[in-house]
């Protein structure tokens, strides 16, 4: 159940990937703070479920659904022009939509690679610039991007997930620095594992040891949204996430990659 905890009319928030997992938890967290929402994904049925959940409480904010396939290279322009046409000034942008393309799919199908680049690079960049520019004109706004600790190392499970998430981190840091004086904040969330359908939906194996350390989407969302409103440059949620991030940086380098790869695939094969 969602109820307003702040009464005043607030900026509208646009959240991509709000039909499940972390994006859904972020939408609910921001709704609790009294902001109207535009929730985006390509799954209308799930977006309607999230909208109904949020609107089921008294004095809940308004939730608008925008069905959009973010693999389309022109998706960001379409989203921006939808907001312009409906005269909705977006003051909060959360780029949460993401996929995990496994190495098998990447090696088989160039279309998978194009999709992940369009989703993680093209859509995120264009949305940041389109909405960021109008936030700068209004001299207020918050942007949150979702990267991953996979940005820190060569992951044998996927060859494009980590690099595209690294791009998101680099872009966010650049925008954070460049737009600092404009009252528009840009924050990057770099989570470790989160308990969502992400791995199952993308057929990714997660070792049992790591599975036990997964954060709930609600906890991760809360930490990310608080950091966004504080205007932090970057946040890695949870003690295990922070530990994983430091540990991964320490152990992964080109010379250790063959060993990491061997270990990963032998654990994966044993579990299947
Ligand atoms: N789970 C983790 O352990 C973990 C760790 C680090 C970072 N992350 C990041 O967290 C973010 C959210 O992931 P999650 O764990 O919450 O997984 P999830 O439940 O699978 O959510 C993924 C979201 O992205 C949306 N999406 C995917 N492809 C799309 C497309 N072509 N067009 C529009 N929307 C699309 C999905 O919408 P549809 O239902 O319409 O497909 C869904 O709302 C991702 O960016 C992921 O990389 C996750």
19 lines ligand 1 (CB under 6 A): yes
161 lines ligand 1 (CB under 6 A): no
Encode burial over 135-144: b for 16+ CB neighbours within 10 A, e otherwise.
beeeeebbbb
- pLDDT tier at 190, thresholds 50, 70, 90: very high
pLDDT at 270 over 60: yes
| Ligand 1 nearest-atom number relative to CA 191 | 6
pLDDT at 272 over 80: no
CA of 99: how far to CAs of 31, 62, 77, in Å? 24, 28, 21
| Ligand 1 nearest-atom number relative to CA 115 | 31
119 lines ligand 1 (CB under 6 A): yes
- Percentage with pLDDT > 90 across the chain: 80
211 lines ligand 1 (CB under 6 A): no
Q: If one looks up domain 12-271 in CATH, what number appears?
A: 3.40.50.720
- The model's pLDDT over 17-54, given as tens digits with 9 standing for 90+, comes to 999 999 999 999 999 999 999 999 999 999 999 999 99
- The model's pLDDT over 79-108, given as tens digits with 9 standing for 90+, comes to 999 999 999 999 999 999 999 999 999 999
172 lines ligand 1 (CB under 6 A): no
Q: What is the mean pLDDT of the chain?
A: 93
How far is the centre of ligand 1, averaged over its atoms, from the C-alpha of 8 (Å)?
Answer: 31
């Amino acid at each position: 159940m969602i109820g307003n905890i702040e009464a005043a009319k607030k900026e509208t928030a646009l959240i991509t990937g709000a039909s499940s997992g972390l994006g859904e938890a972020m939408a609910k967290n921001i709704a609790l703070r009294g902001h109207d929402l535009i929730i985006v994904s390509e799954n209308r049925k799930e977006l309607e479920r999230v909208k109904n959940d949020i609107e089921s409480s008294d004095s809940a904010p308004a939730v608008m659904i925008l069905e959009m396939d973010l693999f389309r290279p022109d998706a960001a322009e379409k989203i921006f022009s939808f907001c312009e046409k409906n005269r909705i000034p977006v003051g909060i942008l959360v780029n949460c939509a993401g996929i995990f393309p496994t190495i098998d799919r990447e090696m088989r199908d160039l279309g998978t690679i194009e999709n992940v680049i369009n989703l993680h690079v093209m859509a995120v960049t264009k949305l940041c610039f389109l909405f960021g520019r109008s936030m700068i004109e209004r001299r207020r706004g918050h942007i949150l991007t979702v990267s991953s600790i996979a940005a820190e190392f060569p992951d044998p499970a996927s060859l494009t997930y980590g690099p595209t998430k690294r791009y998101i981190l680099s872009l966010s840091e650049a925008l954070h620095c460049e737009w600092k004086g404009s009252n528009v904040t840009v924050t990057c969330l770099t989570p470790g594992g989160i308990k969502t359908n992400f791995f199952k939906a993308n057929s990714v194996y997660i070792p049992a040891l790591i599975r036990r350390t997964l954060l709930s989407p609600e906890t991760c969302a809360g930490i990310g949204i608080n950091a966004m409103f504080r205007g932090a440059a970057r946040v890695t949620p949870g003690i295990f996430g922070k530990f994983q991030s430091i540990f991964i940086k320490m152990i992964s380098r080109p010379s250790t990659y063959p060993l990491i790869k061997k270990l990963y695939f032998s654990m994966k094969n044993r579990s299947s």
